[in-house]
Structure 1
Amino acid sequence: MTIDDLIEAVIAREGGYVDDPADRGGATRWGITEKVARQRGYAGAMRTFPRDEAVAIYRRLYWLRPRFDAVAARAPALAAELFDTGVNMGPAVAGGFLQRALNALNRGARDYPDIARDGAIGPATLAALDGFLARRGAAGEAVLVKAVEALQGARYLDLAETRPANEVFLYGWLANRIGS
């Protein structure tokens, strides 16, 4: 899938305008929160937030800035998962999930050194990903996707347990975000 395909899938899943009082994210349109839209200079009503601005935000803030495009050059399915997780939880959280998985899968730093879990996809994270893929091949990419999804699912459960208002979202998060 291309980034255009990934963005289209997110927009289709997120839908149009939503303002659920139980959602701390507040008003959203096309999955973009009002806070993010305002930070990017949008001053209008969220009900009329333009789709093309949402597409530009997804590309810039959730693909290029976190360097998921660099991951895609190595492991496209993993990059797609990181993008989706980043849209829902923040790109730094998604990057941190990848770093945590890479550290746990490096066989005691025999395959490549441990990396900082700072959520930023930089040279060290990409080198670790390269080392992992060189060792594990194409099957390794699928394992990394599963690891990121497992961490994502665990975070959803934590969110529901620590804030009971989130329980109304848990089923949908697990049904629509894990393995999709």
Structure 2
Amino acid sequence: MTIDHLIDAVLDREGGYSNHPADRGGETAFGITAAVARANGYDGAMRDLPLATARAIYRRLYWLGPRFDAVAARAPLVAAELFDTGVNMGPPVAAAFLQRALNALNRGASDYPDMPVDGRIGDITLAGLTAFLAWRGAGGERVLLKAIEALQGERYVALAERRPANEAFLYGWLANRIG
């Protein structure tokens, strides 16, 4: 699956313009918040955000910037999940899920060293991912994906518990963002 396919899938899930009263992100277009659009040079009405601008933002901020493309070269299913999670929760949260899962799956650091959980994909994280996949083989990517999705699901439930207004989104998050 290419980044263009992943962006298409996010666009299908996110839809066009939205301004849900319970959404702390405020106005969005194609899932891009006004704050992100403004920070990336768009100054028009969110209802008019060009699709090409949204695509460029997704590619730059949610794929290339966090280095999920480097993850994709090793584990494409994991990279696809990190991209979608990054869109919904922020790339540092998605990257931290990968780091936490890799640390928990390294058998007490006997397969590869623990890494800092800093929410940034760097050489240490990529080396841990490579070592994990070499040790666990083809099935390892699916297990790693399950661990990341478990962390994601727990975060969604915790968000709804901490802020009751988020309960309006919980069903959709669980139905459309996990698995």
TM-score strictly above 0.5 = yes
* Distance in 1 separating the partners of 2:12 and 2:107: 39
Matches within 5 A, 1:35-114: 35-114=35-114
Shift of 1:35: 0.4
Give me the TM-score of the superposition, normalised by structure 1.
0.99
Shift of 1:138: 1.2
Q: Do residues 16 (structure 1) and 16 (structure 2) align? A: yes
Shift of 1:137: 1.0
What is the number of equivalent residue pairs in this alignment?
179
* Distance in 1 separating the partners of 2:148 and 2:168: 23
Shift of 1:174: 0.4
Summarize deviations over 1:110-155 as a string: whole Å, max 9, x none.
0000000001000000000011001001100001111111000000
- The answer for the alignment partner of 1:127 in structure 2 is 127
1:24 counterpart SS class: coil
2:137 counterpart SS class: helix
Matches within 5 A, 1:25-40: 25-40=25-40
* Distance in 1 separating the partners of 2:78 and 2:169: 25
* Distance in 2 separating the partners of 1:132 and 1:88: 26
- The answer for the alignment partner of 1:178 in structure 2 is 178
* Structure 2 gap ranges (5+): none
* Structure 1 gap ranges (5+): none
Runs of 4+ with >3 A deviation: none
CA RMSD of superposed structures (Å) = 0.4
Q: Percent identity?
A: 74
* Distance in 2 separating the partners of 1:62 and 1:103: 23
* Distance in 1 separating the partners of 2:135 and 2:67: 22
* Distance in 2 separating the partners of 1:52 and 1:137: 38
Give me the TM-score of the superposition, normalised by structure 2.
0.99
- The answer for the alignment partner of 1:147 in structure 2 is 147
* Distance in 2 separating the partners of 1:22 and 1:31: 15
* Distance in 2 separating the partners of 1:44 and 1:125: 38
Shift of 1:24: 0.3
Summarize deviations over 1:86-131 as a string: whole Å, max 9, x none.
0000000000000000000000000000000001000000000011
* Distance in 2 separating the partners of 1:168 and 1:89: 16
